[in-house]
Amino acid sequence: MPELPEAETIVRGLRRTVPGERIRGVDVPHPDVLRASPRAFAARVRGRRIEGVGRRGKNVLLLLDGGRVIAVNLGMTGTLLRFREVPRGGAVPTHPAVRFRFRSGGVLVFDDQRRFGTVEVLEADAWTERQARMGPEPLEDAFTGEGLFRALRASVSPVRSWLLDQRRIAGVGNIYASEALHLAGIHPARRARTVTRREAVRLHEAIRSVLQAAIDHGGTTIRDYRNADGEAGGYGRRLHVYGREGEPCPACGTELRRTVISNRSAYYCPTCQPRRGGGRRP
């Protein structure tokens, strides 16, 4: 599933070519990704100029003139692909859900194989209200180790589940939660409120470190993720625990394990991340 690094990589790619484009029309092969009818959606974005491209959590934002925002949640398999002209024949994308046609002749395609992603247009006030319900951006200064500690102390949820809650932290998903918890030496099933201040500071550092490294390498491609140029991310081969059940821990050599928390897999090292705490930091 695309997370913060994948969304950020897409945003950086789109910023090179999309700002300044004016939307001539919209094609919607799969209207189930929209939060409005195709006709209503097209009417609200047609003729609008894209003034910028941004990100909030896992959402890619197309900032339109007049204050409107097209918010694209990538879901599990979504990406945004930019073409100089409308792809024809067997050209990628393979699962187009929404196509934005520009007056320049170019096109921006939301491609989503499983179609769990969403595309919607919001007025400025509505977007401000929406993002206010999301947690802090983990790479910004407002996200601190002390703040993380205090927030964790108020919850009895497993710490991995806590990290996946977008109301707590915006943009962290299963891949980078597993990686950060391993780096911090914290078992994913521990209750959030059992994390000590020192561990919270380590976790804060680990989250920021892992996310930044993933951005630097263009995100993680497990199966479907591609950036705005259609290229795979390069961070997958640098993952320490995610998807590596049965392999040796890169820190201590112990066989890595998988557990299921809230119907989702979590990966960890039983030596570096003991259930009761006290693990050594990888």
Is 2 one of the catalytic residues? yes
Is 264 one of the catalytic residues? yes
> b/e map of 188-221 (b: 16 or more CB within 10 Å)?
bbbebeebeeebbbbbbebbbebbeebbebbbbb
Is 22 one of the catalytic residues? no
Is 88 one of the catalytic residues? no
Active-site annotation holder among 3, 6, 21, 199: 3
Active-site annotation holder among 56, 58, 101, 202: 58
Give which of 65, 35, 66 is closest to 50, Cα–Cα: 65
Active-site annotation holder among 2, 136, 158, 282: 2
The burial of 227, by beta-carbon neighbours within 10 Å (0-12 exposed, 13-18 middle, 19 or more buried), is given as buried
* Helix pair 197-216, 145-153: axis angle to 10 deg: 120
- In this structure, what is the dihedral angle of CA atoms 133, 134, 136, 138, given to the nearest 10 degrees? 180
Residue 275 sits at φ, ψ, to 5 deg, of -60, -35
Active-site annotation holder among 150, 198, 264, 280: 264
- Positions annotated as catalytic residues are 2-3, 58, 264
